[in-house]
Chains A and B, each alone.
Chain A
Amino acid sequence: MEYKAPLEKYTGRIREITLGRGEKSLKIGGSSILPLHHFEGNAANRPVVALEVDDNGAAGWAGSAVEPFKDVVNDPVKWGARCLKLGADLVCLHLEGTDPNGANNTPAEAAALVKRMTQELDSPLIVYGCGDDKKDVEVLTAVAEACQNSNLLLGPAVKENYEAVLKAVADNGHCIIAQTPIDINLEKELSVKLLKQLPPERIVIDPLSSALGYGMEYSFTIMERTRQVGVVYGDAAMQMPVIADLGRECWKTNQARSYGEQGMLWESITALSLLLAGADILVLRHPDNCRLLKEAIEGKI
Chain B
Amino acid sequence: MILIGENIHIISKAVSEAVRDRDSASIQALAKAQARAGADYLDLNLGPARKEPEEVASWLVDTVQAVADLPISLDTMNPLAMEAGLKLCRKRALLNSASGKAESKEKMMPLAVKYSTQVVISVITDQGCPPDVDSRVESIMETVAYANGLGIDNEDIWVDPIILPVSADQKQVREALEFVRILTDLLPGVKSVVGLSNVSNGTPAPLRGILNRTYMVMLERNGLYSAIADVLDQELIDINRGGLNDAKVLIHRVMDGEPVDADTLPEKEKNYVKTARVLMGDALYSHAWLES
Q: Which residues of B contact A184 (CB under 8 A)?
A: 284
Q: Which of A186, A187, A233, A237 contacts B292 (CB 8 A)?
A: A237
A235 touches B288 (CB 8 A): no
Q: Which residues of B contact A195 (CB under 8 A)?
A: 292
Known: A185-B167, A192-B292, A195-B292. A235 touches B285 (CB 8 A): no
Nearest chain-A residue to B291 (Cβ)?
A192
A185 touches B292 (CB 8 A): no
B286 touches A235 (CB 8 A): no
**Interface residue? A229 (CB, 8 A):** yes
Of the four ranges (under 10, 10 to 19, 20 to 34, 35 or more), the interface on chain B belongs to under 10
A186 touches B286 (CB 8 A): yes
**Interface residue? B241 (CB, 8 A):** no
Please report B residues at the A interface, Cβ cutoff 8 Å. Answer: 167, 283-288, 291-292
* Min CB–CB distance A197 → chain B (angstroms): 12
A229 touches B288 (CB 8 A): no
Question: Could you list 26 examples of A-B contacts with CB < 8 Å?
Answer: A184-B284, A185-B286, A186-B286, A186-B287, A188-B288, A188-B292, A189-B286, A189-B287, A189-B288, A191-B286, A192-B286, A192-B288, A192-B292, A193-B288, A193-B291, A195-B292, A196-B291, A229-B284, A233-B284, A235-B283, A235-B284, A236-B292, A237-B284, A237-B286, A237-B292, A238-B284
A161 to B292, CA, bound (A): 20
A185 touches B283 (CB 8 A): no
Q: Which residues of A contact B284 (CB under 8 A)?
A: 184-185, 188, 229, 233, 235, 237-238
A185 to B287, CA, bound (A): 7
Q: Which residues of A contact B288 (CB under 8 A)?
A: 188-189, 192-193
A233 to B284, CA, bound (A): 9
A102 to B292, CA, bound (A): 40
- Greatest chain A CB density within 10 A among B284, B285, B287 is at B284
Please report A residues at the B interface, Cβ cutoff 8 Å. Answer: 184-189, 191-193, 195-196, 229, 233, 235-238
Main secondary structure of the interface of B (DSSP, over half): loop
A185 to B281, CA, bound (A): 13
Q: Which residues of A contact B292 (CB under 8 A)?
A: 188, 192, 195, 236-237
Nearest chain-B residue to A184 (Cβ)?
B284
Q: Which residues of A contact B167 (CB under 8 A)?
A: 185
* Min CB–CB distance B259 → chain A (angstroms): 14
Contacts A186-B287, A188-B286, A189-B286 given; 4 further ones with Cβ under 8 A?
Answer: A187-B286, A188-B288, A229-B284, A236-B292
Q: Which residues of B contact A233 (CB under 8 A)?
A: 284
Q: Which residues of A contact B285 (CB under 8 A)?
A: 185, 188
Nearest chain-B residue to A193 (Cβ)?
B288
Nearest chain-B residue to A237 (Cβ)?
B292
A237 to B287, CA, bound (A): 13
A131 to B65, CA, bound (A): 56
A187 to B292, CA, bound (A): 13
Q: Which residues of B contact A238 (CB under 8 A)?
A: 284
Nearest chain-B residue to A196 (Cβ)?
B291
The 7 closest A-B pairs by CB, nearest first: A188-B286, A189-B286, A192-B288, A192-B292, A189-B288, A185-B286, A189-B287
A187 to B167, CA, bound (A): 12
Q: Which residues of A contact B287 (CB under 8 A)?
A: 185-186, 189
* Min CB–CB distance B261 → chain A (angstroms): 16
* Min CB–CB distance A15 → chain B (angstroms): 15
A216 to B194, CA, bound (A): 36
A9 to B214, CA, bound (A): 32
* Min CB–CB distance B204 → chain A (angstroms): 10
A192 to B285, CA, bound (A): 11
Q: Which residues of A contact B286 (CB under 8 A)?
A: 185-189, 191-192, 237
Q: Which residues of A contact B283 (CB under 8 A)?
A: 235
A185 to B289, CA, bound (A): 10
* Min CB–CB distance A199 → chain B (angstroms): 15
* Min CB–CB distance B257 → chain A (angstroms): 14
A229 to B292, CA, bound (A): 15
Q: Which residues of B contact A186 (CB under 8 A)?
A: 286-287
A238 to B287, CA, bound (A): 15
* Min CB–CB distance B4 → chain A (angstroms): 29
